[in-house]
Chains A and B, each alone.
Chain A
Amino acid sequence: MESALTLNHFLLVSGVLFAIGLAGVLVRRNLIIIFMCLELMLAAANLTLVAFSRFNVQDGQPNYDGQVLLFFIITVAAAEVAVGLAIIVALFRTKETTDVTKVNSMKY
């Protein structure tokens, strides 16, 4: 069967998605969009974990350690988004902008 899915398929999608997120971080200037692209890179890494977990079958069961790690990553990402957005709001209060090129110093 030629069209059978291999691990490479999933890893390639994950890698390309990571590269798209990286492109967003490098190209965009809006701080919120940069933050969203960071989340995209995290989610792309998640796909790698799930793929390795599914392809590493032991006793007819996938390796659940990878999925547990994913659980922790999702939790940490949620906490990170909350703190990051609070920092962006605090920045907006003092600078009135979310453009990274206009934020050159931490001190106002």
Chain B
Amino acid sequence: MSFLFYLFSALALMGGIGVVVNRNPVSAAFSMIISFLGLAALFIQLDAFLVGILQILVYAGAIMVLFLFIIMLLDVREEEKRRRPLINIIGAGGVIVGFIALVISVLSRSDVGKATIPALTEVEGPGTSDVHHIGELLFSTYWFPVQIVAVLILVATVGVVVLSKKELK
């Protein structure tokens, strides 16, 4: 169990580092897909099956295909090597190290984080899967946010069509 956790979190983190380090945008996009696959495996390890599958379908499938499509459409070349001012590197590194130190110090002080994974009661039969529970919540408690998200997607679709027109007038 914990071996799989370390394997997949290493996969997710290595993929993330690959996105930042790779000069070629296509390689960066593929590293991103690997990172998302590792994350989806972590979700499934946390018994969130629907969300893990959604992560693969929507992020690794749809979103990354869109990214790759745009990268190839625009014919983005590799970033040329250029010396960056040292102050930029130091600043970025300082922000990152500071952020990770903050996370570690907060986590080491909290008692909440020391909990181990609580056991779930196994229920058999129809209507007990997480898909069922999430669907029920979406269409009862959260019906209004669902409507808002539907409008958001409509607005985004119209916006993309308008932005993609040849003449922006």
Contacts and interface: CB of A to CB of B under 8 A. Distances in A.
Interface string A33-47: 101110110010011
Contacts of A86: 159-160, 163-164
Interface residues of A, number: 72
B20 A72 contact: no
A86 B118 CA distance: 44
Interface in A51-87: 51, 53-55, 57, 59-62, 64-65, 67-68, 70-72, 74-83, 85-87
A51 B117 CA distance: 9
Interface in B96-140: 96, 99-100, 103-104, 107, 112-121, 123, 130, 133-134, 137-138
A37 B89 CA distance: 17
A24 B54 CA distance: 25
Contacts of A6: 113-116
Contacts of A11: 103, 107, 113
Given A43-B39, A55-B118, A67-B48, A28 B20 contact: yes
B116 A4 contact: yes
Given A7-B114, A82-B66, A98 B74 contact: yes
A92 B117 contact: no
Main secondary structure of the interface of A (DSSP, over half): helix
Interface of B: 1-2, 5, 9, 12-13, 16-17, 19-20, 25, 28-29, 32, 35-36, 39, 42-43, 46-48, 50-51, 54-55, 58-59, 62-63, 66-67, 70-71, 73-74, 76, 79, 88-89, 91-92, 95-96, 99-100, 103-104, 107, 112-121, 123, 130, 133-134, 137-138, 142, 145, 149, 152-153, 156-157, 159-160, 163-164, 168
19 contacts: A4-B2, A11-B103, A16-B100, A20-B16, A24-B16, A30-B76, A40-B19, A43-B59, A51-B46, A55-B118, A60-B123, A67-B50, A71-B134, A75-B152, A77-B58, A79-B156, A81-B63, A82-B160, A85-B67
Interface of A: 3-13, 15-24, 26-30, 32-33, 35-37, 39-40, 43, 46-47, 50-51, 53-55, 57, 59-62, 64-65, 67-68, 70-72, 74-83, 85-90, 92, 98-99
